[in-house]
Structure 1
């Protein structure tokens, strides 16, 4: 099962200190037991929300750090993406998996599958026993739909204003945080359904 899905920045943002990542979108799946320890269960709902937000920000910072190191080691230089070339940017995207130890930031161990497309990263945090190849395929599909239909790499793109559309994508491609094994026909049917909704 997937614990959460994140869209965040991986390149410097002028309003943030160096090394920080801006969390643009997040969605948690399942109960909060993996996030909250016994000492945190007594917190108010607002304090719980802030604690979850901080834990997701920790994941975003860790992914940003790994992406920066990967790009630096490969000697890759980012070039601006021309609108309409989202598919090309996705093909050239960096991707990887990292292990999140128990207590850093969640109570239980987890795996983070990430895909960095230009200045954005899409991250799935999964349970440690989850099929990581299936998670990567689902993440690529989600990110492709986000990039193609929501134009997230364009100038002035506001993910925050498009969160309802991201929610719909997640409900179709990752229902209740469950990774789907898709055969070819079902995948085509799902693609048509998503494309039909996104064209509205």
Structure 2
């Protein structure tokens, strides 16, 4: 299961959170504690911030050694309308480091934007990466998230449609061509209806 999906900026400087969705529980609020909804939201947002700041840091470190620039990624998107080559990363979060349980983060980044899954430790990384790539493809198609990241906040309902279709309640689906076509139709119909 995916605990959280995160989209953030990856430009040099301070990263900005563009979108996040939490699907699971982290054991932050057990019955022995009297935690209000506002405090719980604040704790979860802090956890998400720690994750996307680490993704940003890893991306900047890797980018400093590669010969590609953000402009190269964006030009490829604009000229070819194809997805650029993604920088990919993975790191483990031990219990107590950010979350109560062991988890791992898989991220992909290109253009101005990074996308991350915070997954349970037993989830298949290849399946998670495959679904993350599908999400990015449809988010670019419907929201232009790689080239115009500010649109993500303005079109959060579209982002939610794509995320909830390809990642229902945080569950990783095994995608085959037939299921992908069906999910594409669902996304298109829901976006047209809204």
| Cα distance between partner residues in 2 of 1:104 and 1:149 | 35
Among residues 129, 147, 165, which one is paired with 1:172 in the alignment?
A: 165
1:29 counterpart = 2:23: yes
Deviations 1:59-100 (A, max 9, x none): 000000111111112233221624645853x33121121111
Secondary structure of 1:49's counterpart equals helix
| Cα distance between partner residues in 2 of 1:172 and 1:146 | 12
| Cα distance between partner residues in 2 of 1:155 and 1:116 | 14
| Cα distance between partner residues in 2 of 1:87 and 1:161 | 22
Mapping for residues 92-171 of structure 1, pairs under 5 Å:
92-155=85-148, 157-171=150-164
CA gap of 1:100–1:37, structure 2 versus 1, over 3 A, is farther
Secondary structure of 1:79's counterpart equals helix
Q: Contact (CA 8 Å) 2:10, 2:113: kept in 1 or not?
A: yes
1:68 counterpart = 2:57: no
Question: Normalising to structure 1: TM-score of the pair?
Answer: 0.86
RMSD, aligned α-carbons: 2.3
Q: Contact (CA 8 Å) 1:21, 1:57: kept in 2 or not?
A: no
Deviations 1:124-167 (A, max 9, x none): 00001100000000000001111111112345732112111111
Shift of 1:39: 10
Shift of 1:2: 0.3
Aligned length: 191
Aligned to 1:2: 2
Among residues 26, 39, 46, which one is paired with 1:54 in the alignment?
A: 46
Aligned to 1:15: none
Shift of 1:58: 0.3
Mapping for residues 1-20 of structure 1, pairs under 5 Å:
1-12=1-12, 18=13, 20=14
CA gap of 1:7–1:40, structure 2 versus 1, over 3 A, is farther
Question: Normalising to structure 2: TM-score of the pair?
Answer: 0.88
